[in-house]
Every structure is written in C-alpha cells, then in structure tokens.
C-alpha cells in the first residue's frame, strides 16, 4: 500500500477541525478519485498529505511506503515523490517555466540535471500538449489562462515524475477540449512512470469520463463514507451526495 491514513484529524488555519478520524488506503500504480461536496474536507486532506504547516494534524498518522511522514516538512515529502497540483496554482512572476522545472528537478534529485534528457522530455511533452517552445519562457502561472496552467502542471508531472500525484480540483473551469488534453497528459505521464499513483480530487464525474479511476472514495463531513469502483462515480452523477449527507 503506497499511502495509508489512519484516524486522521486535521484543522484548518482558522482552527476549525474539518477532517474527523479519516481512514484511507491507496494502492500503488492506481488512479484514485476522491469526491465529495463543498466543505467536506477534500482540499484540507490534500494539504495535510503534502505537509502544509498551516493545517494542524491533531491525531492519527499518514504512512507513505510504511513510513509516518507527519514530522517531515514539505520539501522532504516532495523528495519522497509526493506532488500536489492546485486548483488555483500560485504565480511566480519573472521565473520562466523552464528555469523553474530545471531547479525543481535538481532539488529533488540532489544532482545536476542531464540537459539532453531534460530537453528531450520537454520536447515530447510540448508536442503532446500542442504547445510551442515559447511556452517554456513564460513566467510560472503568471498571466496564463486556465488551460495553460493545466499544461504547466502536466509538464511538471512529466519532468518531475512523482510517485504520488495529488490533483486538487484541477479540472475546475476547463472546457471539453482542455479537459481531454489534461486527461491525456496525465495518462501519458503515468505510462512514462508506470508506478505513478494519482489521486484526483473533484466535485464532478466529468474528468472521470476521460481518466478512468480504479477506485472512487466519497468524503463527507471529514470522513470517507464509501469506497468502490468507477461505477460509484456514475452513481453520484445520477443521484448526487444527498443520501450520504443524510446518513452521516
């Protein structure tokens, strides 16, 4: 089991406990979908896994490859292979995407970057994303459209090759064409890194029409209330979250 979470309690920066005794297990090399209504704790869970110090873990454990990572800072979790893509990624004015990717890769590996390999990866990714090389010279997420920000995230996945990628509502606001390109980019990144595990956090089933999950987990009021196969997302599409809200 790549990730195992036991009895997790997490509070937001405002001191409000959002995650209440959550248990979750994610198998390696699979695509997992985490779904739930607004305010259920999906993004809070993502921040806790990544190690954002503003989110206080009051109780429980998060095991990555059998190791409790709660005492590790964000950079050490990233070196273990944990990656988080945000719905609204932060802009870094003045820093070209190419330089950012090179610096991030060097930091993760702790060694100089093989430029031939780096450029080959970038060229292949740009071709798949239907973007030209000028895209690499634009500042990270600064002045980019929603679709362009998603392309930036796919480039990061392909270059950094994380073992565990958390995609926190990154499908929000995408049109159908951008959604397809995004899903295809994730699948391509997984083919290039066969053991990569993906956790897609989303409200809606539409991204899952293009990126088929192996497992779906429903989060309501800070707890996982049901897990199942891809058919569970289709059930939610038909009936919504109401029955889970009522029963919990």
Any idea which of 69-73, 138-142, 177-181, 243-247 has the lowest mean pLDDT?
243-247
Q: What are 209's two structure tokens?
A: 């029409």
- Pick the residue with more confidence: 172 or 195? 195
Residue 198 CA, chain-centre distance (Å), reads 7
Q: Are 157 and 185 in contact (CB under 8 A)?
A: yes
Identify the sign of the CA torsion 187, 193, 195, 200.
negative
Sketch the domain layout of the chain as residue ranges: 29-52+72-247
Residue for token digits 């454990």? 61
Q: Where are the alpha helices (DSSP H) in the chain?
A: 42-50, 74-80, 97-109, 115-128, 146-160, 176-192, 231-239, 242-247
C-alpha angle 193-22-153 in degrees, rounded to nearest 5:
30
Q: Are 186 and 219 in contact (CB under 8 A)?
A: no
pLDDT, one tens digit per residue, over 208-238 is 888 899 999 999 999 999 999 999 988 888 8
> Can you give the pLDDT at residue 248?
58
Which one is the CATH code of 29-52+72-247: 3.40.50.12280, 3.40.50.150, 3.40.720.10, 3.40.50.300?
Answer: 3.40.50.300
For residues 100-129, give the mean pLDDT. Answer: 89
pLDDT at 164 over 70: yes
Helix (H, G, I), strand (E, B) or coil at 170: coil
Q: Where are the alpha helices (DSSP H) in 65-216?
A: 74-80, 97-109, 115-128, 146-160, 176-192
> Can you give the pLDDT at residue 245?
72
CA 82/CA 48 separation, integer angstroms:
12
> Can you give the pLDDT at residue 96?
93
CA 164/CA 157 separation, integer angstroms:
10
**What count of residues does the chain have?**
248
- Cβ-in-10-Å burial (0-12, 13-18, 19+) of 38 comes to exposed
pLDDT, one tens digit per residue, over 165-181 is 999 887 777 778 878 88
CA 108/CA 94 separation, integer angstroms:
22
What is the chain's mean pLDDT, rounded? 90
């Amino acid at each position: 089991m790549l990730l195992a979470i036991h009895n997790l309690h997490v509070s937001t920066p405002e001191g409000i406990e959002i995650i209440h005794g959550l248990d979750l297990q994610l198998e390696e090399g699979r695509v997992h979908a985490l779904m739930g209504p607004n305010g259920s704790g999906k993004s809070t869970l993502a921040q806790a896994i990544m190690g954002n110090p503003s989110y206080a873990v009051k109780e429980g454990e998060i095991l990555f490859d059998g190791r409790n990572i709660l005492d590790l800072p964000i950079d050490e979790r990233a070196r273990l292979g944990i990656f988080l893509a945000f719905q609204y990624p932060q802009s870094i004015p003045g820093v070209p995407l190419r330089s950012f990717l090179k610096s991030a890769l060097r930091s993760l590996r702790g060694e100089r970057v093989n430029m031939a390999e780096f450029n080959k990866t970038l060229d292949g990714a740009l071709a798949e994303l239907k973007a030209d090389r000028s895209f690499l010279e634009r500042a990270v997420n600064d002045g980019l459209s929603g679709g362009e920000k998603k392309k930036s995230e796919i480039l990061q996945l392909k270059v950094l090759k994380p073992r565990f990628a958390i995609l926190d509502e990154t499908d929000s606001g995408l049109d159908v064409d951008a959604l397809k390109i995004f899903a295809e980019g994730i699948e391509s990144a997984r083919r290039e890194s066969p053991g990569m595990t993906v956790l897609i956090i989303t409200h809606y089933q539409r991204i899952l029409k293009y990126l088929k999950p192996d497992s779906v987990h429903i989060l309501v009021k800070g707890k996982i209330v049901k897990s199942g196969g891809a058919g569970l997302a289709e059930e939610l599409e038909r009936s919504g979250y109401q029955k889970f809200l009522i029963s919990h």
